[in-house]
Structure 1
């Protein structure tokens, strides 16, 4: 399928193409690259095996480069890919302290069972695996409802150090990808890595410990800025809506360099699930104020708000794989991110990225354990924008 294109979009693409065409000279390429660096990684389920596995390979490379005596923590929703579990087991066997919090839903998979056998469940030991209760998140203190599945939906990895001393300390990898084979071969995903931001690493570690301790709180919501470019948000949030608050910080005018061809602020949303009317209505209000809005989604019930507007372009990214024998194994966007290019919080001509495990549905806001990162800066934003445009190019305009 081809996306229906609009003239106004071509000017937005130009900056990305210039960035993608830049190739560093041989002298600028480091001979010995560190095992992980700050920045974004994306997979492509339609690409080569390496492109499909890009996020997975990035995380496993970090695991395999974690040395004996260091600590590795992972908060996961789904673990069925033995590539991940085998890497974690190898780390434990060479003396890494491996600690995993896993949602109950996939806790009996082969990968999870093998990891549990290796690590054990005794949290007085250096390595362990803790499983959240059945039909419950680890933190979100929500009354059990037979019609709902409250979950630990997190997907992050923490490393006290990757590689040799001083190379990559205090590493956070926040991804949208579950640790399953489908998340490489069928789903578009992303991962953002932060290296050396001790405040961010410490905040994530405290959140991880609360997950492991099952420190239940219906309104756990935490947020905080750090010494680096990142700000963190941990859920559930029982009142208000963080994403609406983020959009309330967006101004459509005041830019002189970035944004649309006429320098209006551009907001782009990649959403696996989009079911929050307040968010959709706020996006439409911004479009009424001359912002440009683009959404690439897998599923939504908000097309009434997102469609039929000159400055809102919703694109559905769910592709039939064309193989009758595997009917239902569609390819779709699984990323959950929001990009602001323009005037944000009184800062014109700036670029911002919000990414994590947080879907635009009520469960992610009120009922699940979730994490979201805000990253300030052009390099990260432009990498995500390139990924967004790549997904948009194979999506279908629906409004």
Structure 2
């Protein structure tokens, strides 16, 4: 993997390295602000970089501290084993998973690989929420908060699509947030590019924002009918959280109200005057044409706009494709192949979910912003699901994400169109 700076190399290749030059672990085991990226076509360590960063945080959580998590799918035995070991040494481990993560076999009788049964057992975390540790599954066919079905072919209702963990203490650092785009599955490590951030709260209020949302997931997921809309935002120092689902205004339909599309609203804050502003997007699923139309408008206004999207059929909507075709600075379909040591080939795509803005934003010049989380650019992600979008206003984090974007862009797994 070729990148442009030693600092970026530490972040991209090592995955869990601290931002800046590689450092030895401090004597007091402090957790630093970290951007982590996997390389699904790389070495085992590069494939597992995000998962290993999460396991490292779990392993560094001391007795008496608490881990809170909310995840969609969970088939990773390494992570589940680390969580159970944490419980056994006196950590309080409380985990929320989507209902889709529960079944041991699917509708066709095929094993899912789910870790839920192991976690729910008394020898795992258990399910007794009066205990110090437990796992909670959201109700079937809805999220823990979101309960809306948008209708249409294949819509099975809302899901808890979140992918975050909270640590009241990790190493010597209090209140740490771990947010990733990756589900806890083997295919996410081995077949798809993903991203993650590890953020010490450091007085920002970010941990408290996530913790309040996590508690709402627990409260709503354990009782009550759920909600058609939940949308909450909170500024937290250099960060801002956006929690979904967000409902359209009265009289509109879920797919025709760009005024309540959070990503469109963020892009409305971009100023392209002078031609110096750059927008870079790495996205798994992109079907909201209003976002596409806004990106085209920004390109015409003088911004540079680049997109890396996943190449699986249906992940780029037909209306989106028609809108952006020939109208962005650069667009690439990520659907390459990699060959394992055994000679077996597999598809390589992108599952990351990030928007990078470099330039003028809300009237301020020379901004470097990252928006990431679990949020795909689809209507279920906006209107139905339990989802998180996180704004990060930090130049070092931005530079790491930009280096990741450029590395994927220039690699063999994405082709311009």
**TM-score greater than 0.5 by the shorter chain:** yes
- Judge conservation of contact 1:276–1:362 (CA < 8 Å) in 2: yes
Structure 2 spans left out of the alignment, 5+ residues: 12-17, 104-112, 249-259
Distance verdict in 2 for CA 1:354–1:125, change over 3 Å: same
Q: Which residue of 2 aligns with 1:202?
A: 208
Matches of residues 122-141 of structure 1 in structure 2 within 5 Å?
122-141=128-147
Tell me which stretches of 4 or more aligned residues in structure 1 moved more than 6 Å. Answer: 21-24, 323-327
3-state SS of paired residue (1:214): helix
Partners in 2 of 1:343 and 1:378 — Cα distance?
Answer: 14
Post-superposition offset of 1:17 = 4.4
Post-superposition offset of 1:377 = 2.0
Tell me, yes or no, if structure 1 residue 266 matches structure 2 residue 284.
no
Post-superposition offset of 1:120 = 1.4
Which of 218, 223, 230 aligns to 2:233? It is 223
Q: Give deviations 1:244-303, integer Å, cap 9, x for gaps.
A: 00000000125xxxxxxxx61000011000101000000000001010000000031212
What is the Cα-based RMSD across aligned positions, in Å? 2.5
Q: Which residue of 2 aligns with 1:3?
A: none
Post-superposition offset of 1:312 = 2.3
Tell me, yes or no, if structure 1 residue 362 matches structure 2 residue 372.
no
Which of 223, 235, 238 aligns to 2:244? It is 235
Tell me, yes or no, if structure 1 residue 75 matches structure 2 residue 70.
yes
3-state SS of paired residue (1:238): coil
- Judge conservation of contact 1:101–1:131 (CA < 8 Å) in 2: yes
Post-superposition offset of 1:306 = 1.5
Partners in 2 of 1:29 and 1:176 — Cα distance?
Answer: 25
Q: Give deviations 1:52-77, integer Å, cap 9, x for gaps.
A: 11000000000011011101011000
Partners in 2 of 1:22 and 1:95 — Cα distance?
Answer: 33
- Judge conservation of contact 1:306–1:313 (CA < 8 Å) in 2: no
Post-superposition offset of 1:197 = 3.9
Post-superposition offset of 1:124 = 1.3
Moved more, 136-145 or 182-191: 136-145
Distance verdict in 2 for CA 1:62–1:20, change over 3 Å: closer
3-state SS of paired residue (2:147): coil
Q: Which residue of 2 aligns with 1:160?
A: 168
Distance verdict in 2 for CA 1:158–1:322, change over 3 Å: same
Partners in 2 of 1:143 and 1:396 — Cα distance?
Answer: 33
Matches of residues 1-399 of structure 1 in structure 2 within 5 Å?
16-17=4-5, 20=8, 29-30=23-24, 32=26, 34=29, 36-108=31-103, 109-117=113-121, 118-143=124-149, 147-149=154-156, 150-163=158-171, 167-198=172-203, 199-214=205-220, 216-226=226-236, 228-239=237-248, 240-253=260-273, 264-298=276-310, 299-301=315-317, 302-309=320-327, 311-321=328-338, 329-394=346-411, 395-399=413-417
In the alignment of these two chains, the number of paired residues is 370
Q: Give deviations 1:214-267, integer Å, cap 9, x for gaps.
A: 1622110010111x311111000112100000000000125xxxxxxxx61000
Distance verdict in 2 for CA 1:162–1:18, change over 3 Å: closer
Q: Give deviations 1:285-343, integer Å, cap 9, x for gaps.
A: 0001010000000031212222213x52111111134689977x421100000000000
Q: Which residue of 1 aligns with 2:254?
A: none
Post-superposition offset of 1:397 = 4.2
- Judge conservation of contact 2:150–2:380 (CA < 8 Å) in 1: no
Q: Give deviations 1:365-395, integer Å, cap 9, x for gaps.
A: 0110000110002111110000001111134
Distance verdict in 2 for CA 1:296–1:31, change over 3 Å: closer
Partners in 2 of 1:321 and 1:307 — Cα distance?
Answer: 27
Structure 1 spans left out of the alignment, 5+ residues: 1-12, 255-262
Distance verdict in 2 for CA 1:53–1:30, change over 3 Å: closer
3-state SS of paired residue (1:207): helix
TM-score (norm 1): 0.87
Partners in 2 of 1:22 and 1:237 — Cα distance?
Answer: 37
Post-superposition offset of 1:398 = 4.0
- Judge conservation of contact 2:96–2:136 (CA < 8 Å) in 1: yes
Partners in 1 of 2:239 and 2:60 — Cα distance?
Answer: 24
